[in-house]
Amino acid sequence: MSQPVDTDKVFSALSDGNRRKIIELLHNKEASIIELAEFFPISFQALSKHVNILESAQILNKEKKGKYRVLSLNQKALQTSLEWISYYSNFWNESFDKLNVIIGESKTDGAPE
């Protein structure tokens, strides 16, 4: 049974550009850490640390295939964060729509522009 996604860990993991690039690379296909290493100008140890942080946040899944561990993206972890962002995005969009209505009403009341 999988544990619930910790949104704080997801946002923390997403705060680093290298980790976001790992997610981008794994968006369409799985890869081993060795395959990912060619895209980064950092040490293998540093890349491994980034992968572990993403795995700890449940953004990545690691599965043994043959003699390699293959990484894949767990989109459910990202979906939870997207839902949180969408909720607040909708709140602000609705607030700005209401503000536009109020501004529009005040202009029609003869208020100076």
CATH number at residue 55: 1.10.10.10
Helix (H) or strand (E) holding 86: helix 75-108
**77 found inside a domain:** yes
Q: How many domains does the chain have?
A: 1
Domain that holds residue 92: 7-108
Average the pLDDT over 48-60 and give the result: 96
Residue 53 has pLDDT above 70, yes or no: yes
**43 found inside a domain:** yes
**1 found inside a domain:** no
Residue 47 has pLDDT above 50, yes or no: yes
**Burial class, 30, CB count within 10 angstroms (exposed 0-12 / middle 13-18 / buried 19+):** middle
Q: What is the pLDDT of residues 65-92, one digit of tens each?
A: 998 899 999 988 888 888 888 877 766 6
Bridging pattern class, strands 60-65 and 31-32 = unpaired
**2 found inside a domain:** no
**68 found inside a domain:** yes
**19 found inside a domain:** yes
**113 found inside a domain:** no
What are the tokens at 113? 């522009």
Give residue 1's pLDDT.
43
